[in-house]
Amino acid sequence: MSRQVNVSRTTKETSITLTLDLEAFHAPQIDTSVPLLSHFLTAFAFHGRFGMVLKAEGDIEVDPHHLVEDVGLVIGQAFHEVLGDRQNITRFGQRYLPMDEALVLCALDLSGRGQCYWAPGFPDRSINGINAEVWPEFFHGFARQSGTTLHLRYVSGDNAHHVYEATFKAFGRALAEAVTPLDTAGISSTKGVL
Q: Which is nearer to Mn ion, 22 or 54 (CB)?
A: 54
Report the nearest approach of Mn ion to the CB of residue 43 (Å): 7
Indicate the pairing of strand 4-10 with strand 115-118: unpaired
Report the nearest approach of Mn ion to the CB of residue 167 (Å): 12
Nearest to 146 by CA among 37, 68, 67, 71: 71
| Interface with Mn ion (CB under 5 A), residue from 165, 167, 168, 175 | 165
Report the nearest approach of Mn ion to the CB of residue 59 (Å): 25
Q: Which is nearer to Mn ion, 118 or 168 (CB)?
A: 168
Residues sharing a CB contact under 8 Å with residue 192, sequence separation 6 or more, in sequence order? none
Amino acid occupying residue 39: H
Q: At what angle do helices 65-83 and 35-48 cross, to 10 degrees?
A: 20
Report the nearest approach of Mn ion to the CB of residue 69 (Å): 21
Site for Mn ion in 34-93 (CB under 5 A): none
Report the nearest approach of Mn ion to the CB of residue 147 (Å): 29
How many C-beta neighbours within 10 Å does residue 162 have? Answer: 18
How many C-beta neighbours within 10 Å does residue 91 have? Answer: 21
Interface size with Mn ion, residues (CB under 5 A):
1
Report the nearest approach of Mn ion to the CB of residue 11 (Å): 29
Q: Which is nearer to Mn ion, 98 or 112 (CB)?
A: 98
Stretch that binds Mn ion, among 97-105, 133-141, 162-170, 173-181 (CB under 5 A): 162-170
Residues sharing a CB contact under 8 Å with residue 61, sequence separation 6 or more, in sequence order? none
Nearest to 4 by CA among 25, 23, 31: 23
Amino acid occupying residue 45: A
Stretch that binds Mn ion, among 6-14, 133-141, 143-151, 164-172 (CB under 5 A): 164-172
Stretch that binds Mn ion, among 18-26, 81-89, 112-120, 165-173 (CB under 5 A): 165-173
Nearest to 126 by CA among 118, 116, 134: 134
Stretch that binds Mn ion, among 2-10, 96-104, 163-171, 186-194 (CB under 5 A): 163-171
Q: Which residues bind Mn ion (CB under 5 A)?
A: 165
